C-alpha cells in the first residue's frame, strides 16, 4: 500500500523556490518523513527527514503540518541541477525504503 501521495510532475523557474508537496494521511506516531531525489542515471540522494518539527539543512527545508498528515519539501533557490525525481517516503525504525513514482521536478531556465 502506498503510504504517500505526490504530484506526478512539477515545473519551477530557475532561482525560485520549489515547493514539493506530499500527503501521508495514514502516518503513525513513530514514523518519519524522508525525502530522497534521483537525478537521471544516478543513485538516489538523501535530502532530509523529520518527525514532527520543521527541519532545515544545506540542501532543503522540510515543513510538516501539525497533524503530520502532509509535508512540503522546499528547495529555496532551485537550479538546473535540481531537476530530478523527488521521493517522499514514510519510514518507521528498521523499515526498508520502498519507492513510489515520486514527483518529477523540472527546473526551467
Contact 63, 74 (CB under 8 A): yes
Residue among 1, 42, 53, 67 that touches another protein (CB under 8 A) = 42
| Signed CA dihedral, 57, 28, 23, 93: sign only | positive
Q: State the minimum distance, in angstroms, from the CB of residue 87 to another protein.
A: 8
Q: Does 38 bind another protein (CB under 8 A)?
A: yes
**Shortest spacing between CB 34 and another protein, in angstroms:** 7
Among 10, 32, 63, 106, binds another protein (CB under 8 A): 32
Count of beta carbons in the 10 Å neighbourhood of residue 10: 16
Amino acid at each position: 500500500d502506498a503510504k504517500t501521495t505526490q504530484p506526478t510532475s512539477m515545473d519551477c523557474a530557475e532561482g525560485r523556490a520549489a515547493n514539493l508537496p506530499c500527503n501521508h494521511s495514514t502516518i503513525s506516531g513513530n514514523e518519519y518523513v524522508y525525502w530522497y531525489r534521483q537525478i537521471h542515471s544516478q543513485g538516489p540522494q538523501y535530502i532530509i527527514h523529520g518527525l514532527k518539527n520543521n527541519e532545515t539543512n544545506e540542501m532543503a527545508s522540510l515543513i510538516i503540518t501539525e497533524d503530520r498528515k502532509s509535508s512540503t519539501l522546499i528547495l529555496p533557490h532551485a537550479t538546473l541541477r535540481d531537476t530530478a525525481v523527488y521521493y517522499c517516503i514514510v519510514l518507521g525504525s528498521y523499515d526498508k525504503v520502498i519507492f513510489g513514482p515520486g514527483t518529477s521536478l523540472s527546473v526551467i531556465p
